Amino acid sequence: MKKPARGRIALGGAIVAVKSDGMDSRFRVHSAWLEVLPAGKTPVHLRLEGTTSSLTLELPLIPAWRLSAEMHERAIGFGDATEPTRSSRRAKKKPER
Give the closest residue to 7 by CA, choosing from 41, 33, 43: 33
Give the whole-angstrom CA distance, residue 62 versus residue 64: 5
Give the whole-angstrom CA distance, residue 82 versus residue 84: 6
- pLDDT band, very low/low/confident/very high, at 80 (cuts 50, 70, 90): low
Q: What is the pLDDT of residues 44-63, one digit of tens each?
A: 999 999 988 899 999 999 99
Instruction: Judge contact between 13 and 29, C-beta under 8 A.
Output: yes
Give the whole-angstrom CA distance, residue 20 versus residue 55: 15
Q: What is the pLDDT of residues 6-54, one digit of tens each?
A: 678 898 889 999 899 989 999 999 999 988 888 889 999 999 999 888 9
Domain ranges of the chain: 9-81
pLDDT of residue 28: 94
